[in-house]
Amino acid sequence: MKYMFSSYQPKNSFDEYFKDNVNSAREILIPLLSSLDNMGIKELNRNHSAAKKLLLRHGATFRLNDTGLKGTERILPFDPLPRIISKDDWVTLEKGLKQRLEAIDLFLDDIYNSQKIINDGIIPRELIESSEGWRPQMIGFKPPLNKWCQISGLDLIRDRNGDWHVLEDNLRCPSGVAYFLENRLVMKNIFPNLFSGRIVKPIDEYPSYLLKTLQELAVWTDTPKIVLLTPGIFNSAYFEHSYLAQEMGIQLVQGHDLVCNDDYVYLKTTSGLKRVDVIYRRIDDDFLDPQNFRKDSCLGVSGLLDAFKSGHVALANAPGTGIADDKMIYSFVPKMIKYYLDEEIIIKNVETYICHYQKDRQYVLENLSKLVVKSVAEAGGYGMLIGPHSTTSEIEEFAKKIKKNPRNFIAQPTLELSTVPSLCDGELYPCHVDLRPYILRGKDSWVSPGGLTRVALKKGSLVVNSSQGGGCKDTWVVGK
């Protein structure tokens, strides 16, 4: 039989299947490689189309634009070759993620209350108060359980040596978890043979933990009414919103299904108004409450923030958490961990230059062609410059932007993200990946085993975001 990978060429970056060439597979991959060989590339491709059809049937789609009913609906490109993470690696990552979130939650509580970290000179006040995620409305507030981030999804990458780093903290409404769950379902359905010979850590408990996490926020009742608040079907993550609501058996609501009276929140039902205790909101702070945030928002509920602050309803995540996923505040997380927990950081940050600082800015401007520059408040791969892949005029344009508003930019060295073999036009090709594990924090913390592996399915591309043509893979945490 022809070896499936015989014409596969790993890149210079760290390949998660092979040490340097196709004859030296990593030990943990061996059972999978032999199952893949048994299947053969033809059948792999055939099953791949079946997998795509299944995703379409399930409705695992997102809309590319907001042009209304005619908006193009697509499935997130799905790659059938799983990414494998060893249990040993995972134990460390899990610990590192919990540590990071613990520190971030203490940081949020601190800056909206006693502000010790500012007063002790660890983080300058101006950087906090100039962040787009800063919500002065939350000053003096203590959320239920004193936790601000119930649901977060952090982006991790492996560098050239295979070392893990945190690339971004997503602490507002991180998306992708439905694809993470759906991918596993599709793999089990279409590629059951690939699972043979090993135990892949199951991930199905996610909705149960999410529900439990949300229930625990309603400290005032044993029978909380929980809803998921979505902006509606035109939101690109709408599939996920309805998927999660259904998996948890809670109601999916839009802003106009809710109404606030005397600092309580109610659902409009066919039999009148019914009280709501917990809202898992998938609407950004800005649009949550036109009375307290953006006046022109018609997605949110007027008075919601007051209801939250008076302790009659819980919101997950609390408004104001965006301050901690500002890409500049990110660079202070190692210091937060030291300051609040007196520990060393377990999963390292990526080296980050802060354009706000004169010295860093000068370095960045002189080395733009080598660096990745990111706007601190944007997500989804927007507002980025990838130096080595950019033209001189693009670089000049970015230099102007940086000089005009230095607080808005950070820069990082160009990282060669690790690669995993993936199907590109029917052939196997090393594609760059990142990993987004999901962390839930109610009374306890829980980390999804593995996470969503996003993959840059265009040959040579480094951008894994779905809005930029990226796809996803199933991710397996496996023991020896």
Partner 1 sequence: MLLSRVAESLYWINRYLERAENISRFVEVSEAMSLDCPPGSAEPWLPLIDASSDRESFDKRFPEKKPNDVINFLIRDRLNPNSIISCIQMARENARQIRDVMTTEMWEQINILYWNMQEGEAIWNKPRQEQLSEIRRECQLFYGITDATLSKDLAWRFSILGRLIERADKTSRILDVKYYLLLPSLDELGGVLDELQWIALLRSAGAYQMFRKAVQNSIKPNSVARFLLLDPIFPRSVRYCLEGISNTLKMIDSSPPPENPTELECMRGLLKAKWSYIRIEDIINDGLHEAIDSLQMDLNKLNDLIQEKYFIN
What CA–CA distance (Å, rounded) separates 376 from 408? 5
* Closest CB to partner 1 among residues 207, 470: 207
Beta-sheet strands, E only, within 33-105: 61-63, 73-75, 78-86
Pull the structure tokens for residue 313. Answer: 């309803």
Question: According to CB under 8 A, which one of 21, 24, 30, 59 is a site residue for partner 1?
Answer: 59
* Closest CB to partner 1 among residues 161, 270: 270
Closest listed residue to residue 16, CA positions, set 449, 416, 417, 419: 419
* Chain-centroid distance, C-alpha 402: 26
Reported for 391-400, long-range contacts at CB under 8 A and 24+ positions apart, including other chains, are: 395/368, 395/369, 398/368, 398/373, 399/365, 399/368
* Closest CB to partner 1 among residues 93, 218: 218
* Closest CB to partner 1 among residues 12, 270: 270
What CA–CA distance (Å, rounded) separates 469 from 463? 8
The stretch among 146-154, 214-222, 262-270, 407-415 that binds partner 1 (CB under 8 A) is: 262-270
Q: How far is the CB of 296 from partner 1 (least distance, A)?
A: 22
Q: Exposed, middle or buried: residue 175 (CB in 10 Å: 0-12, 13-18, 19+)?
A: buried
Query: Contact 112/282 with Cβ under 8 angstroms?
Result: no
Alpha carbon of 25 to those of 295, 420, 424: distances in Å? Answer: 57, 12, 21
What CA–CA distance (Å, rounded) separates 437 from 445? 13
Question: According to CB under 8 A, which one of 29, 41, 145, 267 is a site residue for partner 1?
Answer: 267
Q: How far is the CB of 288 from partner 1 (least distance, A)?
A: 19
Question: According to CB under 8 A, which one of 24, 49, 56, 221 is a site residue for partner 1?
Answer: 56
Chain positions 174 to 213 lying near partner 1, rule: CB under 8 A, are none
Question: According to CB under 8 A, which one of 271, 358, 391, 393 is a site residue for partner 1?
Answer: 271
DSSP-assigned letters across all residues of 450-461:
S-EEEE--STT-
What CA–CA distance (Å, rounded) separates 448 from 439? 6
* Closest CB to partner 1 among residues 40, 232: 232
Q: How far is the CB of 302 from partner 1 (least distance, A)?
A: 16
What CA–CA distance (Å, rounded) separates 448 from 434? 15
* Closest CB to partner 1 among residues 274, 403: 274
Q: How far is the CB of 46 from partner 1 (least distance, A)?
A: 18
With tokens 């760290």, the residue in question is 14
Q: Is 57 one of the binding residues for partner 1 (CB under 8 A)?
A: yes
* Closest CB to partner 1 among residues 55, 428: 55
* Closest CB to partner 1 among residues 77, 437: 77
Pull the structure tokens for residue 55. Answer: 């995703």
Pull the structure tokens for residue 304. Answer: 């919601």
The stretch among 148-156, 157-165, 215-223, 269-277 that binds partner 1 (CB under 8 A) is: 269-277
Q: Is 270 one of the binding residues for partner 1 (CB under 8 A)?
A: yes
Question: According to CB under 8 A, which one of 269, 362, 367, 369 is a site residue for partner 1?
Answer: 269
Q: How far is the CB of 257 from partner 1 (least distance, A)?
A: 5
Q: Is 69 one of the binding residues for partner 1 (CB under 8 A)?
A: yes
* Closest CB to partner 1 among residues 270, 358: 270
Residues in the chain: 480
Q: How far is the CB of 338 from partner 1 (least distance, A)?
A: 43
Closest listed residue to residue 150, CA positions, set 443, 435, 452, 436: 443
Question: According to CB under 8 A, which one of 272, 391, 404, 425 is a site residue for partner 1?
Answer: 272
Beta-sheet strands, E only, within 57-117: 61-63, 73-75, 78-86
Residues that contact partner 1, how many (by CB under 8 A): 27
Q: How far is the CB of 215 from partner 1 (least distance, A)?
A: 17
* Closest CB to partner 1 among residues 6, 271: 271
Chain positions 230 to 259 lying near partner 1, rule: CB under 8 A, are 232-233, 238, 242-243, 245-246, 250-254, 256-257
| Phi and psi torsions of 57, nearest 5° | -65, -40
Chain positions 110 to 169 lying near partner 1, rule: CB under 8 A, are none
Q: How far is the CB of 58 from partner 1 (least distance, A)?
A: 7
User: What one-letter code names the amino acid at 477?
Assistant: V
Pull the structure tokens for residue 208. Answer: 């149960």
* Closest CB to partner 1 among residues 252, 328: 252
What CA–CA distance (Å, rounded) separates 186 from 49? 11
Q: How far is the CB of 190 from partner 1 (least distance, A)?
A: 16
Question: According to CB under 8 A, which one of 46, 125, 160, 274 is a site residue for partner 1?
Answer: 274
In the chain, count H helices and then E strands: 12, 23
* Chain-centroid distance, C-alpha 428: 26
Residues at the contact surface with partner 1, assessed by CB under 8 A: 56-59, 69, 228, 232-233, 238, 242-243, 245-246, 250-254, 256-257, 267-272, 274
